Amino acid sequence: MIIHVVESGDSLYKIGQEYGVSPYRLAIDNGIEYNSTLVIGQTIVVQFPTMVHTVKQGESLYTIAKQYGVSVISLYQNNPQLNGRSTIMPGEQLVITYDQEKLGSFEVNGYGEPSISDDLLRKTLPYLTYITPFTYGLTQSGSLVMLNDNHMIDIAKEYDTAPLMHLSTLTEKGNFDSARASIVLNNQTIQNKLIDEIIENMNDKGYYGLDVDFEFINRQDAEKYAAFISNLRSRLNPLGYEVITALAPKISAMQRGTIYEGHLYKEIGTASNAVFVMTYEWGYTYGPPQAVSPLPNVRAVLDYAVSEIPREKIFMGISNYGYDWTLPFEKGDKARSISNDEAIKLAIQYGAEIQYDETAQAPYFNYYDKRGREHVVWFEDARSIQAKLALIPEYGLRGAGYWNIMRPYQQGWTVLNSLYHIKRISE
Predicted pLDDT of residue 172: 80
Rounded to 10 degrees, the C-alpha dihedral 375/279/183/175 comes to 10
135 and 170 in a common domain: yes
- List, as one string, the DSSP characters of 154-214: HHHHHTT-EEEEEEE-B-TTS-B-HHHHHHHHH-HHHHHHHHHHHHHHHHHHT-SEEEEE-
H helices of 237-381, where? 258-261, 265-271, 295-308, 340-350
131 and 246 in a common domain: yes
Predicted pLDDT of residue 410: 98
223 and 187 in a common domain: yes
Nearest to 419 by CA among 396, 388, 398: 388
Residue 79 domain boundaries: 2-98
CA dist 89 and 313 (Å) reads 43
Which helix H or strand E contains 65, and what residues bound it? Answer: helix 61-68
Are the C-beta atoms of residues 377 and 308 closer than 8 Å to each other?
Answer: no
Give tens-digit pLDDT for 329-358: 999 999 999 999 999 999 999 999 999 999
Rounded to 10 degrees, the C-alpha dihedral 375/381/386/388 comes to 30
Give the residue from 70, 98, 126 where a domain finishes.
Answer: 98
Predicted pLDDT of residue 283: 97
86 and 227 in a common domain: no
125 and 90 in a common domain: no
pTM: 0.97
313 and 164 in a common domain: yes
Predicted pLDDT of residue 173: 79
Residues of the chain with pLDDT under 70: none
313 and 223 in a common domain: yes
Catalytic residue list: 215
CA dist 149 and 133 (Å) reads 7
Give tens-digit pLDDT for 138-178: 999 999 999 999 999 999 999 999 999 999 998 887 889 99
CA dist 347 and 324 (Å) reads 11
123 and 78 in a common domain: no
| Residue 413 located in a structural domain | yes
CATH number at residue 171: 3.20.20.80
Give the residue from 48, 74, 98 where a domain finishes.
Answer: 98
124 and 83 in a common domain: no
Give the residue from 98, 133, 152 where a domain finishes.
Answer: 98
Total count of domains within the chain: 2
Predicted pLDDT of residue 284: 97
CB count in 10 Å sphere of residue 211: 28
